[in-house]
Amino acid sequence: MKKIAAWLMTGSVLLGACSSAEEPVKEKEETTAPAKEPAAEETGPVLDASYFNEVEEIEGIQVIQNPENTLVLVNKEFALPSEYTPPDLVRPNVTYSFGDQDIEKSYMRKEAAGALEELFAGAKENGLFLFAVSGYRSYDRQQEILAAGAAASNEAKALESIAPPGMSEHQSGLAMDISSESNGFELNQDFESTEEGQWLKEHAHEYGFILRYPKGKEDITRYVYEPWHFRYVGKKAATEIKENEWTLEEYFDNVKPAE
């Protein structure tokens, strides 16, 4: 009986071992990682559609049909109508390089004029005195300036810094050339090294203005660097342009019309 019991015990152990060995090994449970959400699409500035140029091709020129748009893009591709004169031109209450003469170039559109007054006041609070040199310019006047520039050198050279008539921001009434007494009231690249020029470069956007033809962007603007030429676009657009180091052309390359 003892032998039988021993055998039974041994068999029980063997059976136990076999049972354990023959049990199917549980496969490792597969865990599925939660699907990653698609990366949010980068969104650029959004702008009401009314701020984009509406153009009509006339004799091979893209002529702007909504010139009173304060964000109008005027350059060597898009021209203002030859007969266009802003209906709301006023004379800003600022200091001028030519004194109190009430002449064409002392005017700007009303909204831009108010912003220019604030810009000059802001500079004055910082101990700097700015002088307005040239604002609104008619189509006919632009023709005269280009003709004079071409006569002084040649037309190709003149067009590096002088806009063809209709393609000048000055006709929009939204631009102002600015200088300082420290720069002899001149419009030249030396203005960038003056305290006034440096302050404008860093702070103009706070008042809705942009440095329209910046250094290093000549291939985009198609004009030489002009540290004196400031264009009103409003504070929101000016801040976006400043923060991204864009030109106005690049701004419209990135901005999206509001849906």
| Residues ≥6 apart with Cβ < 8 Å to 16 | none
Q: Is 57 helix (H, G, I), strand (E, B) or coil?
A: strand
**Known active-site residue 181:** no
> How far, in Å, CA of 154 to CA of 162, rounded?
12
Q: Are strands 89-90 and 108-109 parallel, antiparallel or unpaired?
A: antiparallel
Q: Which of 169, 192, 196, 226 is catalytic?
A: 226
Amino acid letter, 37: E
Residue 46 is inside which H or E element, if any? strand 46-47
* Alpha-helix residue ranges (DSSP H) falling in the chain: 2-22, 110-125, 139-152, 155-158, 195-203, 218-221, 235-244, 248-254
Distance of CA 40 to the CA centre of its chain: 23
Q: Which residues are catalytic?
A: 226
